[in-house]
Amino acid sequence: MPSPEDTLLKDTITRCREAGLRRTWALEELLNLLIATAKPLTLADLADSPTLKDRCDRATVFRLLVRLEKQGILRRLGLHDRSAYYTLNVPGQHSDYLICTECGVIEKLDIACPVEALEAKISKQSGFKKLYHELEFFGVCPLCA
């Protein structure tokens, strides 16, 4: 029986193919890294990883990230003056984040999403389909405070 990570990789590759992206070694490895870490990663985190570092240059990794974000497969997070972080968008799931305005650390918000009920109400009243939201809270983390 395949692991949840294997299933997620397979489903994500299917979404990539449906979006017109070619299945390449670099694409698959980038997705593997994002799935395995289960947290947002920067371009540097991905490009400097042992598996990608020797086989892909930073520009290739960046182009992949841009394409994946454009297709809605990845979500870009971060402060405007700091490195962007990337995380996998999984249909039917979403994550909300806390972002420190001092050091840039990003943490997943571990509470029930406070916006889901509002999203459902807006969808019902407006008639919009496939409605989604991205929620990020900005502040100063305990270490910086």
Per-residue confidence (pLDDT) for residue 90, from 0 to 100: 87
Q: What is the pTM of this model?
A: 0.84
Helix or strand holding residue 27 (H, E):
helix 25-37
Query: According to CATH, what is the number of the domain 1-89?
Result: 1.10.10.10
Per-residue confidence (pLDDT) for residue 52, from 0 to 100: 92
**Of residues 84 and 31, which shows the higher confidence score?**
31
Per-residue confidence (pLDDT) for residue 7, from 0 to 100: 93
Average pLDDT over residues 76-93: 84
Show me where the domains of the chain are located: 1-89, 94-145
Among 1.10.3720.10, 3.20.20.150, 1.10.3470.10, 3.30.1490.190, name the CATH number for the domain at 94-145: 3.30.1490.190
Q: For the stretch 78-106, what's the b/e string if a residue is b when 16 or more beta carbons lie within 10 angstroms of its beta carbon?
A: bbeeeeebbbbbeeeebbbbebbeeebeb
